[in-house]
């Protein structure tokens, strides 16, 4: 009958591993023959910086990081402007989910975009407490159609011409299809 020496198995394993280390240490300590570094192609030249002349530069955009604007018809939109911007910036339309809040959406997308664009967050209909939702795709479309002109009018030259990006969360994403199809020229990108 064989004695039970199972407690020695980890010891044998450790000894086997350590015995290989001395050879590895010896190999590392021996000098290596000089090797040429691999040939590397030179990097392409960097594009020239975009020059902004003093006549093109805007004064730094001043204001709070989050603004609430009441629109005609009782609609509300929150905007996180790119405070400090000196050049026109794009728009991200951030549509909240059900049981969510537009100010929360603006704060999250502002951080996620490094406060670079205007983050425009239309408000849906009241649900319970201080949370909101959307009745259908058309309610999102109406809110965006009211919010974008108001942002362009309020911030003028600070808003870049061109399309916006649609960013939907939860219900704001699941109800986005009609808006994105009907407004594909104004909202060609979605996330």
CATH code of 105's domain: 3.40.50.1820
Give the pLDDT of residue 90: 97
Question: Is position 91 within any domain?
Answer: yes
Length of the chain: 191
Question: Is position 172 within any domain?
Answer: yes
Question: Is position 85 within any domain?
Answer: yes
Question: Is position 10 within any domain?
Answer: no
The burial of 77, by beta-carbon neighbours within 10 Å (0-12 exposed, 13-18 middle, 19 or more buried), is given as buried
Question: How many domains is the chain built from?
Answer: 1
CB-based contact 179:187 (threshold 8 Å): yes
What's the rounded Cα separation, in Å, for the pair 147 and 182? 16
Question: Is position 144 within any domain?
Answer: yes
What's the rounded Cα separation, in Å, for the pair 130 and 149? 26
Could you tell me the residue range of the domain that residue 139 belongs to?
A: 71-190
**C-alpha angle 110/112/117, rounded to 5°?**
45
pLDDT digits (tens, 9 = 90+) for 102-153: 999 999 999 999 999 999 999 999 998 899 999 999 999 999 999 999 999 9
Question: Is position 123 within any domain?
Answer: yes
What's the rounded Cα separation, in Å, for the pair 111 and 45? 32
């Amino acid at each position: 009958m064989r004695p039970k020496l199972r407690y020695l198995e980890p010891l044998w394993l450790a000894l086997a591993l350590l015995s290989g280390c001395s050879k590895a240490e010896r190999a590392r300590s021996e000098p290596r023959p000089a090797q040429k570094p691999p040939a590397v192609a030179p990097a392409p030249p960097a594009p020239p910086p975009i020059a902004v002349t003093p006549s093109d530069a805007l004064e730094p955009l001043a204001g709070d990081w989050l603004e609430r604007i009441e629109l005609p018809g009782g609609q509300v939109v929150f905007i996180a402007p790119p405070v400090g911007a000196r050049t026109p910036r794009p728009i991200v339309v951030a549509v909240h989910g059900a049981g969510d809040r537009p100010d929360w959406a603006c704060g999250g997308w502002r951080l996620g975009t490094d406060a670079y664009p205007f983050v425009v967050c239309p408000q849906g209909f009241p649900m319970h407490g201080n949370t909101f939702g959307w009745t259908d795709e058309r309610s999102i479309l109406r809110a965006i159609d009211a919010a974008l002109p108001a942002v362009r009018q309020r911030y003028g030259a600070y808003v870049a011409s061109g399309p916006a990006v649609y960013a939907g969360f939860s219900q704001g994403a699941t109800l986005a299809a009609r808006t994105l199809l009907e407004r594909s020229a104004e909202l060609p990108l979605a996330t």
